Amino acid sequence: MNDVVGVRIEPMARLIVNADDFGQTQGINRAVFELHQAGLLTSATLMARAAATDQAIEFARAIPSLSIGCHIVLTDGEPVLPAAQIPSLLDPSTSLFFASLNAFLGRLFTGRIRADEIEAETIAQIKSLQSRGIRVTHIDSHKHTHMFPSILRPILRGARACGIQSVRNPFEPTWAIRATANCNFVRAAQVSVLHGLQTRWRRILAEEGFSTTGGTLGVSCTGALSKGTLHRLLDRVRTGTWELVTHPGYYDADLARIQTTLRASRDMEREALPVLHEFPALHLISWSQLKPRR
């Protein structure tokens, strides 16, 4: 590896820097806009049905250099399709997605989630953005539900029906988990356990003909991505193409009204991302630059 201003970075390391939850609040939208203008964010995944989606779409149109993906929501949110078309995905008491990830997974593991409804809702969310002039370059999912094979396949089929061939690889490499494990031991352990899904996940991806990265960085330290943590992580980046998953924003009144563990950490991640400027040998790319699978 080469030494660059005291930082060791491998010359062929490429990094997609993606902001999740674009459209959730105006403060998140503002952070995405500012960070992209500062040359720090290359991509963002937009929620098709959220409180500030309309503003996020306006921002996305104003900065076409920002690669926009669809952040597929199947839990803790509002569907695009009418409730009657996707009953297995919704809490009957609210006609919304189940607010709890555990409740959603409980239904998934007991066979009560219909794959055809996942595919239909995926298509509806992507087309909702495309119909408003957004060129959707990739997909990922809220709370990484697409890491589960029974969710992955219908999501991929829905995305392919909309002309999309790239998806987030939600699995964090072991070296990245070790680099940041001290910031959240429990989450790091959970991420490590879920690695058991990776072999089947990759097989499905190959069968469906999708492109992805070598893995995600920053998942195990979600909610704790400080300047120091990000520096330790980037200092260990290896050759390949990776995605840094971020959740920047401003802690404002809109964010305070949302039930989320990512409140104070939104400001922390926004303030941490300029650390990227300290790694000039790290080549930043967007999802639109990822080559499609042949």
Checking if the pLDDT of 66 tops 50, the result is yes
Question: Is residue 219 in some structural domain?
Answer: yes
**What pLDDT does 10 receive?**
42
How many domains are contained in the chain? 1
Question: Is residue 75 in some structural domain?
Answer: yes
**What pLDDT does 264 receive?**
79
Question: Is residue 124 in some structural domain?
Answer: yes
Question: Is residue 70 in some structural domain?
Answer: yes
Q: Is-above-0.85 flag for pTM? A: yes
**What pLDDT does 182 receive?**
74
Question: Is residue 69 in some structural domain?
Answer: yes
Q: Residue 159's domain spans which residues? A: 2-289
**For the residues 127-142, what does the mean pLDDT come to?**
98
Per-chain mean pLDDT for the chain: 91
The DSSP-derived string for the chain is: -EEETTEEE-TTEEEEEEEEEETS-HHHHHHHHHHHHTT---EEEE-SSSTTHHHHHHHHHH-TTSEEEEEE-SSSS--SS-GGG-GGGEETTTTEE-S-HHHHHHHHHTT-S-HHHHHHHHHHHHHHHHTTT--EEEEEEGGGGGGSHHHHHHHHHHHHHTT--BB---PPPHHHHHHHGGG-HHHHHHHHHGGGGHHHHHHHHHHHT-B--S-EESSTTTT---HHHHHHHHTT--SEEEEEEE------HHHHTS--S-SHHHHHHHHHGGGGGG-TTSEEE-GGGSPPP-
Question: Is residue 104 in some structural domain?
Answer: yes
Question: Is residue 294 in some structural domain?
Answer: no
**CATH number of 281's domain:** 3.20.20.370
Question: Is residue 112 in some structural domain?
Answer: yes
